[in-house]
């Protein structure tokens, strides 16, 4: 079984025990002696003994396993406060109070880690290190190469370009030749239009929802809109900053805020122009904002499930010639 599937076992177990014990505690049948056997320790055993053990068995990185176990246990306490009848709660009220302390400690730990990462990134950018490495190295130093680290890399990259784009220089990226893609079919201009559209729509939508529906709904939608605005602004700035590069024997595909893809040049079977629409498929990787991709790369050996890569660049002829020359 693949590690990605195994790593989901703790969450699946948490959902399973929450549903089962929720049915058990809320039922009024011989299963729980008609409400007389709603003992809270039954749920406690699964939450604080079995669940952490599964976390440490399913997740190789012990720091990540500990964080996942604490998070799921806090969620389980929150679920237990709803599914366990009030008359059966003896230890649970203390746990409900304690989860706020644990949450605060986790938040402080995460904030300390974030501050450390930000300082490390700032120092690396000032030293003109490859910006992608400046972001990934301090994060992977804490979390290793994991799914959580990949997600955090993306989020950190987003905030870096949203707030500190001026510190990022395209020439600092690894590679002897760089290729741009932000001018293809007006991609960057179109993205700027989305930024202005969200910024103009946000206050009007907030007022409309506030008075027509509820203040809570207005606040939720506004927060989501702000996050969308930050994402599109970061994407707009990253487009002109993160180039596609040839670095020695590798082609490094960076596209906006996307995770970089490194393709060995020796693994490129064929490269040519493209002028037709490309549908989504598992075996195809597409990098394009507007119009159709103008580069088609066929791999000699698949990278994961990817057999073909389609890219949209500003100067496809120069890109193809450079790759062929490097080959």
CB-CB contact of 264 with 240 (8 Å): no
Name the residue with tokens 């301090």. 138
Residue 284 has pLDDT above 80, yes or no: yes
> H or E element: which one contains 295?
strand 295-303
pLDDT level of residue 180 (50, 70, 90 thresholds): very high
- What residues contact 38, with CB distance under 8 A and at least 6 apart? 24, 25, 32, 84, 85, 87, 88
- What digits encode the pLDDT tens for the residues 236-253? 999 999 999 999 899 999
Residue 137 has pLDDT above 70, yes or no: yes
Average pLDDT on 51-79 reads 85
Higher pLDDT, 36 or 284: 284
**pTM of the shown model:** 0.67
At 121 the pLDDT is 67
At 151 the pLDDT is 80
Looking at the DSSP assignment, which residues form a beta bridge with residue 15?
Answer: none
Higher pLDDT, 87 or 261: 261
> H or E element: which one contains 252?
strand 250-253
Average pLDDT on 211-223 reads 86
Residue 208 in 3-state DSSP?
helix
Residue 125 has pLDDT above 70, yes or no: no
Helix ranges (DSSP H) in the chain: 3-6, 9-26, 41-45, 51-58, 62-83, 92-126, 131-143, 147-164, 187-212, 215-239, 316-326
């Amino acid at each position: 079984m693949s590690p990605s599937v195994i790593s989901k076992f703790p969450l699946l177990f948490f959902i399973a025990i929450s549903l089962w014990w929720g049915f058990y505690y809320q039922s009024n049948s011989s299963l729980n002696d008609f409400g007389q056997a709603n003992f809270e320790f039954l749920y406690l055993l699964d939450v604080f003994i079995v669940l952490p053990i599964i976390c440490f068995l399913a997740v190789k990185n012990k720091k990540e396993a500990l964080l996942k176990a604490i998070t799921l246990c806090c969620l389980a306490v929150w679920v237990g406060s709803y599914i366990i009848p009030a008359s059966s709660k003896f230890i649970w009220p203390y746990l409900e109070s304690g989860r706020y302390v644990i949450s605060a400690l986790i938040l402080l730990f995460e904030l300390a880690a974030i501050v450390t990462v930000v300082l490390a990134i700032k120092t690396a950018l000032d030293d003109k290190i490859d910006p992608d490495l400046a972001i990934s190295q301090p994060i992977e130093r804490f979390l290793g190469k994991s799914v959580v680290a990949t997600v955090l890399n993306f989020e950190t990259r987003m905030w870096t370009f949203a707030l500190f784009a001026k510190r990022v220089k395209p020439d600092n990226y690894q590679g002897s030749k760089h290729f741009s893609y932000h001018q293809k079919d007006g991609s960057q201009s179109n993205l700027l239009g989305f930024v202005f559209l969200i910024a103009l729509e946000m206050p009007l939508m907030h007022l409309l929802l506030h008075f027509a529906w509820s203040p809570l709904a207005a606040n939720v939608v506004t927060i989501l809109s702000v996050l969308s605005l930050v994402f599109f602004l970061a994407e707009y700035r990253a487009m002109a900053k993160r180039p596609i590069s040839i670095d020695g024997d590798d082609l490094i595909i960076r596209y906006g805020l996307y995770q970089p893809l490194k393709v060995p040049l020796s693994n490129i079977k064929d490269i040519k122009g493209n002028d037709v629409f490309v549908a989504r498929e598992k075996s195809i990787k597409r990098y394009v904002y507007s119009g159709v991709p103008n580069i088609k790369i066929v791999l000699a050996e698949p990278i994961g499930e990817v057999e073909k890569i389609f890219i949209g660049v500003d100067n496809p002829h120069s890109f193809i010639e450079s790759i062929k020359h490097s080959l």
